[in-house]
Amino acid sequence: MTYLLDTSVYSQPLRNKPVIAALEHWSVAGDGRCRLSIVSHAEILFGLHWENNEARWRRYRELLEGRLQTVATDGVVWEKFAVCKARQQQLGQPVADLDLLIAATAMVNSFTVATLNRQDFSRIEGVAWEDWNA
């Protein structure tokens, strides 16, 4: 099984109080079975630029930069995103666009999303996901 790490999981090494269970799951899976959505990569970079903290940048460079293979979004992923977004709207259960884009990336590539965000990913039809909180 290949995992697509959601931003909530990928960001754990940068946190002052990381979710230990998430780090343990990642360690067991191994970097070779984990991928990073370009969406999560951008979310991390946004946070680093926003915070503008050299120590945090240093931690990112030491612990995360270039660690995982990044998966881009292409036309097929964006089409899947559109279908997912329409379906969530029809169900009256909208999900944030970036989470839907991560889910669409996982679905198109037959990955399982590793997340701490059970609330959103559990509502997206057709996406395989695991809660790495426990």
Sequential pLDDT tens for the chain (134 residues): 999 999 999 999 999 999 999 999 999 999 999 999 999 999 999 999 999 999 999 999 999 999 999 999 999 999 999 999 999 999 999 999 999 999 999 999 999 999 999 999 999 999 999 999 98
Residues paired with residue 36 on neighbouring β-strands, in sequence order: 5, 70
CATH classification of the domain holding 119: 3.40.50.1010
pTM of the model: 0.94
Question: Which H or E element spans position 129?
Answer: strand 129-131
* Domain containing residue 50: 3-131
Number of domains in the chain: 1
DSSP class of 18 = -
Residue 102 and residue 4 in contact, taking contact as beta carbons nearer than 8 Å: yes
